[in-house]
Amino acid sequence: MIRFAVAGLAMLACAGAVAAEEDNSALLVDLFAKICAPKPALPSQVERVATSLGFVSDGGPITAEMERGPKIDILYMAKLIRRGERIGSMSAYFAGPDDGPSVTCTVTATGVSADALPGLIEKSLKARERADKPSNDENHRLASWRVGTGSGDTLDMSVWRTSPRRASISIGYVGYKR
Distance CA 123, CA 145 (A): 12
Q: Which of 128, 112, 126 is nearest to 26 (CA)?
A: 112
Distance CA 165, CA 148 (A): 28
Distance CA 36, CA 89 (A): 12
Residue type (1 letter), 70: P
H or E segment to which residue 6 belongs? helix 2-20
pTM of the predicted model as reported, rounded to 2 decimal places:
0.84
Q: What are the boundaries of each domain within the chain? A: 22-174
The size of the chain, in residues, is 178
pLDDT tens, per residue, the chain with 178 residues: 454 444 443 443 333 333 346 899 999 999 999 999 999 999 999 999 999 999 999 888 999 899 888 899 999 999 998 877 888 999 999 999 988 899 999 999 999 999 999 999 999 998 899 999 999 999 999 999 988 766 668 899 999 999 999 999 999 998 877 5
Distance CA 39, CA 149 (A): 13
For residues 114 and 25, the answer to whether their CB atoms sit within 8 Å is no
